[in-house]
Amino acid sequence: AAERIASGAADIAINWAGGLHHAKKREASGFCYINDIVLAILELLRTHPRVLYIDIDCHHGDGVEEAFYTTDRVMTCSFHKFGEYFPGTGTQEDKGRGKGKGYSVNIPLKDGITDEAFISVFDPIIARILEVYRPTAVVLQCGADSLAGDRLGCFNITMEGHAHCVQFLRKYDIPLILLGGGGYTVKNVVRAWAYETACALGIENDIDPNLPWNQYFEWFGPRYRLEVVGNNMEDLNAVDGVLDRVRTTALQQLQQLPGAPSVGMHDVPRQGIGEHLGFRYDPAERQDNLDIKLAQHARYVYDLQESDTDTSDDEKSWDSDSDESRVQPKKRMSILMGQSVDPTPVYDAASAPGYDQQTTVPHVYPYGYGGYSYGFAELDMHGAMYAQTAKRRFFHSGARWDETVEHVIAKRYGVSPLPRSVGVVGRMMEKGGRQIADDDMDEDEW
């Protein structure tokens, strides 16, 4: 992304897999094993005199601030939760040091900040930075743990409030890099970043907020919409004018800056940072032994096998979604039963507990994982469960799109039929709780 911005090949570049802002030069920190942001900014500095870094993650971007704490060529501005919260840094007294004094801006916030409050502090501060510092490139870390309802976050910002930052910066027509970051309620993370991608393209008003049907559709229930709504948590930033003091302090810090720092003539490195560190991928380069072992281990862990197009006739290729040539799964420990069980047992309907050939409603208690909705379990005419032939599938629904009626058809799996009289609650109460014969039921009750 940084190479395309630096070369002028793109005005906006996106890397949602990036944004690991906690990692330091000599240590990993907070889920971040490498600080890709610092590497991207170093690449931008080859051709850009001043780079602005903005962080809207719920956690303070300490790794990036530390890397450029003593230089004026990079200004960092972080909007984050502060106070008994990881990483515990980012007060407004941290302004930089030496040549970089005044070029580290921190906006510490409290729990529950809403869209309106966040925008009231984001817009004037960023507008003032763009006016004073005049960056030639901007890097925006769009950490999604600042969204409402995040498992580790504590803000109350909706998807629109979060994406406002992208829309605000896009209006200035400055080369922009959008990065990912935190975010631990995954279905909200993908919503926000999908919408912010649309904002970067300028088509946020053209997309349908109703999610289209796809194999992960049920994961986004119950509303199935492109939205992250707020909640009713209290905004502690509105108490005693806390937010006003934070905004005023930040604007006063920016007022003291002399203006956009100039950059003297210097030799531009001939190699990019990625090429210098040996990160450039060469398709012609063969994999070393470590790469091969890691690939083999990954296939072993996830039960994957590569299909070989040149296999002989007596060898069958393997497909995770195919009904043929399935790999026999290993026994797994059940957290419910506390013992190793076969996830795909051979099920004999006649030997099922509670099976009675004379009754039409046997009480079947399947063993294995069939009773816990792992894979699919079909029922025969007696309500008994067939052997499971499918492996465990994530995000797989029984619903499908019917081309004929152009509607979603839901299919029920693993549900035993119930007696018709069970649903007739009123009649059962009249009989003192006794079961009702099917012949005594009216047609409309059935």
Residues facing 51 on adjacent strands: 74, 137
User: Which of 118, 105, 139, 120 is CA-nearest to residue 58?
Assistant: 118
The DSSP letter of residue 21 is -
Active-site annotation holder among 21, 22, 48, 60: 22
Number of Cβ within 10 Å of residue 260's Cβ equals 15
In angstroms, how far apart are the furthest CA atoms of the chain?
A: 97
Residues facing 109 on adjacent strands: 81
60 catalytic residue (yes or no): no
Structure-token pair, residue 41: 């900014």
Structure-token pair, residue 38: 């610092």
In one-letter notation, the amino acid at residue 219 is W
In one-letter notation, the amino acid at residue 116 is E
The DSSP letter of residue 388 is P
CA angle 275, 279, 283 (to 5 degrees): 100
Whole-Å CA distances, 156 to 30, 175, 413 = 22, 29, 38
CB-based contact 380:386 (threshold 8 Å): yes
Can you tell me which residue has the tokens 């993908």?
190
In one-letter notation, the amino acid at residue 124 is P
Whole-Å CA distances, 387 to 280, 339, 363, 396, 413 = 49, 20, 17, 19, 13
Report d(CA 380, CA 378) in Å as an integer.
Answer: 7
Active site residues: 22
